[in-house]
Amino acid sequence: MATIAIDMDGVMADSTQQYIDWYAARYGVKVEKATLLGKPETTGFPLEGVVRQFLYTPGFFRTKPVIEGAQEVIKALQDKHEVYIVSAAMEFPQSLSEKLAWLEEYFPFISWHNIVFCGYKNIVDADYMIDDHIKNLSAFKGQPLLFTAPHNVNVEGFKRVNTWEEVGQLLL
Which sequence positions are flagged as catalytic?
7, 9
For 130, the enclosing helix (H) or strand (E) is strand 128-131
Per-residue mark of binding to Mg ion, 116-135 (x: CB under 5 A): ----------------x---
By beta-carbon proximity to Mg ion, the closer residue of 28 and 40 is 40
Does position 9 bind Mg ion by CB under 5 A? yes
By beta-carbon proximity to Mg ion, the closer residue of 7 and 98 is 7
CB of 28 to Mg ion, least distance (A): 28
Whole-number Å distance between alpha carbons of 136 and 121: 6
Does position 7 bind Mg ion by CB under 5 A? yes
For 97, the enclosing helix (H) or strand (E) is helix 95-106
Whole-number Å distance between alpha carbons of 73 and 79: 10
Bridge partners, 143 (sequence order): 128
Window of 6-14, 98-106, 116-124, 150-158 that interacts with Mg ion by CB under 5 A: 6-14
CB of 122 to Mg ion, least distance (A): 15
Q: Are 150 and 9 in contact (CB under 8 A)?
A: no
Per-residue mark of binding to Mg ion, 74-113 (x: CB under 5 A): ----------------------------------------
Contacts of residue 121, defined as CB under 8 A and 6 or more positions apart, other chains included, come to 5, 86, 88, 129, 131, 136, 139, 140
What are the strands, taking DSSP E only, across 79-127? Answer: 82-87, 115-117
CB of 12 to Mg ion, least distance (A): 9
Instruction: Give residues in contact with Mg ion (CB under 5 A).
Output: 7, 9-10, 132
